[in-house]
Structure 1
């Protein structure tokens, strides 16, 4: 299976920026009233700002020229009142939009998190955890700023530009067209800069995701780093990755800053052309001083939102690329799908059949891990899977738990195709215990009841007693209510609690993937009696290297060369003196002598 690492950029689908923007905007529909209220306030505030130069024109051409002091005071009073209204409206819509954007970001993060829970194990196996977290945390958080800029910057500025253009054209079409003569050049330049800009910002996001993946991996492996005195090498590698992030950011900013240069040049040319036309028309008396001052103000107002948009361009394009990454995650479909008419799995006996199973990972369809596997397991039978690393032992277990689907063939439980039953009913009947025995932050009780929250305290205590966990539980400060984390218990203690968790869930079929490999000999002895009780009457599959979990199996399957190389019980395989005998003699000779 090919795995993306922190050294590689993720492959992100190339979605249209406009489609991404429209999809982002669509989240506002759930908050129609608040959004509409904010937009009305924005439009009112924008119109007020657009009207102020007209009052300036009136104050100069009418009140001052006509020596109308009272009229000047009234005009200035109206202007002051409108300015105050503009300020209050601005504060109002910002407060409303802050509430809306926070709720939208919460909705998107919740949807993305919920969707992650539906994805198959392959999604998580094929990429670093840090890259998933980067999308769920960093990219989603970036959307909050995107919504704020979209509504508080893009909408009011575009509205202001439109209002200013209408007023200018109404006042003097000639002067207006002279001021707008550079707009086609501006639009064309913006188009080409934006195309490259989005690519540059996507590259920055990818490099930032790589950095998050490396940081997470470094922290997770800090014990190994310190044990091998590899801090300097880790720091050097981290510096290299962070330099890649910096270079990608600088490249994106430099390209995007070209927009500011284009805007400033366009604005300067616009002013020059405006005054050139104004001087020509002033000679024939077609333009008043007040009108020229008003037009100068309108030109300033026209370019002000454009400059504001150009200044926000870097962040906005960065945020659109974040939105693309988030939406791609949300659009990712699980490779495991329930059929529309999926039925509930009903396990009465526990018979398991693998019929002509072939398996390869989705990203490497030509590299078969399992080929034409045929296996029939009787109810209550204990099957041990042994073989070299990478032979496919865990793959067989994963297929039975339906963490993956085979490329061809069927897996049946009591003659029911597991691909046609609900995942919930399958997981309720198939218990999985792995080597890492992950425990969640919370109390011991919460961890024990994780697979069966409705279990009674009596069921929980009985399971712990069967596994000899009484002393471990009572040695904790608050007993079952003691708060634990993944690192607060020894590996052996975690294995014992995980085993009790599986016992409480009471699955009909049990999958133990090297579940005792990390337990010391003394602790293993403690759990053997409990495991015997757990497996009694249950069909069990055990992937293990320990003698105690192999020799007592009803059948031992040696997995090699994409299938079953040998099969039989311990005595039969030892008499055959084949692959299993060699493995046994090399790994368990000392224990056998005892």
Structure 2
């Protein structure tokens, strides 16, 4: 997958109109009965509208012509009652349409969010977060008009058009044909506009996505921007992206704005043609004046749905690109999924075995080769080696963030490929160098390890990893807001909070990836004691560059160039005086020189 940067437009698969409409209509299925009720209410409103001109025709041609005041009052009363009932039903219809539309948008957003959570790390590594947010928020919101108008415009306006056309043909065929003379030309013009309009809206949504990605990243890194005094530079970039979005929007709207003038022009010319033909028919005695007046009203009623349908078509074209962007993500299959018939992982004891494991991210380079080792339940294993040697890849495979290229990984003698992912990962704990805390309280961040934990259990976990003391000194204690990504706390404090969270989750297999880097020596002592408590009674894998922190591990494995080249205890490896010995002595010498 190619890297998608902030400044590059996303490549979106353009789907056929029929395919998009079919997929979007699927979201209407759960509300089909409500939609049917809405359609029947619409039918009633349409019939009321169609009856109005006909009653007016009767009033003019019969009652007025014959000076029938009583009959005229009856028709007037009937018109008032019909239109009052129509207004009430329209209100009920609008409320139901709003409920259906909002529920559909909620369902789409949930489906999209849920699907994104299942996608591999590659998906997130190759896209700025802002571009993902643009689809989950902006593109889904854009579909609101589409669903609103699908229910309130497409079906009723089509029915309205059919009913009016039938009535017009019944009244007078010649006038009916005169009314629709310009319809084929309008359809051709709209087709031409649609062809170019959709492309322009695709460009606009890409430019908007670029701006969203830039804004999200710059605000996330605002400390770096301010520390290097790059505000003017970022403002220039922002202005450039805004200008690109503005240009693309203007180009798209300029073309879309041709829809309305074309329809209104056709409507106006249609009325002129109807009156011209109607005038001749009156002179020849084929129709009466009341019929022409009624027909002029029906002409408006015929072209108004065409106007609304063209507006719907306009909305459809405008939103096709948003639908394409949503379905582009929904059509991405997760790299890691449960195999068919995957069994639930029972409570893990902690025996781990790698058997002839090889792995590559792509066909050109092999990251791991012939990895073989066994770990017994409760053992503490350290992985050391130079940067890029393959240490993090080993624990990523154990976490099944990726699947092995060849070989197999067994946990409690079960191939992890054949077990349910959720039941397996829920029993693992992973601590990374970049500790992530949510924008919430310390209490809620620790409780994230086990959502049903009581406040007392959260506090006990914090005490166990030596986090309780510093938390108690904060202004609001455990109810202190940590701000975005935990920025209110120091690196060491964030680590201790994350240790408490991991301890509360009580994982059977624990992975610590550079968990003690980037913190001061005094804090490291606290963290180290927290780690000791955390490692008790569970199988643990520790990746560390500070070799002093892993001396007490049961086994240390040295990874170099994708292979395990040494394995043993700290003292055993020092006695060999090979790679681990050289690494340890070089670090010891460096620290002494620094002192």
Supply the distance in 2 between the matched residues of 1:454 and 1:83 (Cα, whole angstroms): 57
Supply the distance in 2 between the matched residues of 1:481 and 1:357 (Cα, whole angstroms): 46
- Residue in 1 that maps onto 2:115: 115
Q: What is the CA-CA distance between 1:101 and the residue it aligns to? A: 2.0
Supply the distance in 2 between the matched residues of 1:227 and 1:94 (Cα, whole angstroms): 53
| Structure 2 counterparts to residues 168-179 of structure 1, below 5 A | 168-179=168-179
| Structure 2 counterparts to residues 165-564 of structure 1, below 5 A | 165-346=165-346, 350-361=350-361, 365-379=362-376, 380-454=378-452, 460-485=458-483, 486-564=486-564
Q: What is the CA-CA distance between 1:41 and the residue it aligns to? A: 1.7
Distance verdict in 2 for CA 1:343–1:28, change over 3 Å: closer
Distance verdict in 2 for CA 1:438–1:371, change over 3 Å: closer
List per-residue Cα deviations over 1:102-141 (Å, max 9, x = no partner): 2232233233333333333333333222222222222222
Gaps of 5+ in 2: none
CA contact (8 A) 2:465 2:534 kept: no
Q: What is the CA-CA distance between 1:52 and the residue it aligns to? A: 1.9
Q: What is the CA-CA distance between 1:252 and the residue it aligns to? A: 1.8
Distance verdict in 2 for CA 1:58–1:355, change over 3 Å: same
Supply the distance in 2 between the matched residues of 1:525 and 1:2 (Cα, whole angstroms): 43
CA contact (8 A) 1:369 1:392 kept: no
Single out whichever of 173-182 and 278-287 deviates more from structure 2: 278-287
Q: CA RMSD in A?
A: 3.0
Supply the distance in 1 between the matched residues of 2:349 and 2:307 (Cα, whole angstroms): 74
CA contact (8 A) 2:398 2:409 kept: yes
Supply the distance in 2 between the matched residues of 1:390 and 1:259 (Cα, whole angstroms): 58
CA contact (8 A) 2:175 2:277 kept: yes
Gaps of 5+ in 1: none
Distance verdict in 2 for CA 1:245–1:348, change over 3 Å: closer
SS of the residue aligned with 1:337? coil
Single out whichever of 393-402 and 437-446 deviates more from structure 2: 437-446
Supply the distance in 2 between the matched residues of 1:462 and 1:550 (Cα, whole angstroms): 26
Supply the distance in 2 between the matched residues of 1:424 and 1:410 (Cα, whole angstroms): 19
Single out whichever of 211-220 and 325-334 deviates more from structure 2: 325-334
Distance verdict in 2 for CA 1:186–1:392, change over 3 Å: farther
Distance verdict in 2 for CA 1:552–1:85, change over 3 Å: same
List per-residue Cα deviations over 1:538-561 (Å, max 9, x = no partner): 433222222333455555545454
CA contact (8 A) 1:359 1:368 kept: no
CA contact (8 A) 2:496 2:530 kept: no
Distance verdict in 2 for CA 1:443–1:579, change over 3 Å: same
Supply the distance in 1 between the matched residues of 2:77 and 2:537 (Cα, whole angstroms): 91
List per-residue Cα deviations over 1:313-365 (Å, max 9, x = no partner): 4434333433343344344332111122223435766343333333344xxx3
Q: What is the CA-CA distance between 1:94 and the residue it aligns to? A: 0.9
Single out whichever of 320-329 and 576-585 deviates more from structure 2: 576-585
SS of the residue aligned with 2:118? coil
Q: What is the CA-CA distance between 1:263 and the residue it aligns to? A: 1.9
Q: What is the CA-CA distance between 1:571 and the residue it aligns to? A: 6.2
Q: What is the CA-CA distance between 1:511 and the residue it aligns to? A: 1.0
Supply the distance in 2 between the matched residues of 1:373 and 1:242 (Cα, whole angstroms): 52
CA contact (8 A) 1:119 1:334 kept: yes
Distance verdict in 2 for CA 1:221–1:46, change over 3 Å: same
SS of the residue aligned with 1:293? helix
Q: What is the CA-CA distance between 1:398 and the residue it aligns to? A: 1.1
CA contact (8 A) 1:149 1:316 kept: no
Distance verdict in 2 for CA 1:388–1:310, change over 3 Å: farther
- Residue in 2 that maps onto 1:40: 40
CA contact (8 A) 1:547 1:588 kept: no
Single out whichever of 391-400 and 530-539 deviates more from structure 2: 530-539
Q: What is the CA-CA distance between 1:309 and the residue it aligns to? A: 3.1
Supply the distance in 1 between the matched residues of 2:573 and 2:514 (Cα, whole angstroms): 21
- Residue in 2 that maps onto 1:147: 147
Supply the distance in 2 between the matched residues of 1:452 and 1:321 (Cα, whole angstroms): 41
Q: What is the CA-CA distance between 1:572 and the residue it aligns to? A: 6.7
Single out whichever of 522-531 and 137-146 deviates more from structure 2: 137-146
Distance verdict in 2 for CA 1:580–1:313, change over 3 Å: farther
Please tell me whether residue 29 in structure 1 is matched to residue 26 in structure 2: no
List per-residue Cα deviations over 1:479-517 (Å, max 9, x = no partner): 444444423322211101111222233323221111111
Distance verdict in 2 for CA 1:178–1:431, change over 3 Å: same
SS of the residue aligned with 1:233? helix
Distance verdict in 2 for CA 1:344–1:311, change over 3 Å: closer
SS of the residue aligned with 1:368? coil
CA contact (8 A) 1:385 1:541 kept: yes
SS of the residue aligned with 1:194? helix
List per-residue Cα deviations over 1:182-208 (Å, max 9, x = no partner): 222222332333233333323322222
Supply the distance in 2 between the matched residues of 1:237 and 1:566 (Cα, whole angstroms): 50
CA contact (8 A) 1:146 1:319 kept: yes
Q: What is the CA-CA distance between 1:146 and the residue it aligns to? A: 2.3
Supply the distance in 2 between the matched residues of 1:200 and 1:358 (Cα, whole angstroms): 47
CA contact (8 A) 2:428 2:507 kept: yes
Distance verdict in 2 for CA 1:217–1:292, change over 3 Å: same
Supply the distance in 2 between the matched residues of 1:233 and 1:574 (Cα, whole angstroms): 52
SS of the residue aligned with 2:355? strand
- Residue in 2 that maps onto 1:92: 92
Distance verdict in 2 for CA 1:520–1:147, change over 3 Å: same
**Count of aligned pairs between the two proteins:** 591
SS of the residue aligned with 2:372? strand
Q: What is the CA-CA distance between 1:588 and the residue it aligns to? A: 4.8
Q: What is the CA-CA distance between 1:93 and the residue it aligns to? A: 1.0
Supply the distance in 1 between the matched residues of 2:295 and 2:34 (Cα, whole angstroms): 35
Q: What is the CA-CA distance between 1:172 and the residue it aligns to? A: 0.9
Supply the distance in 1 between the matched residues of 2:131 and 2:111 (Cα, whole angstroms): 18
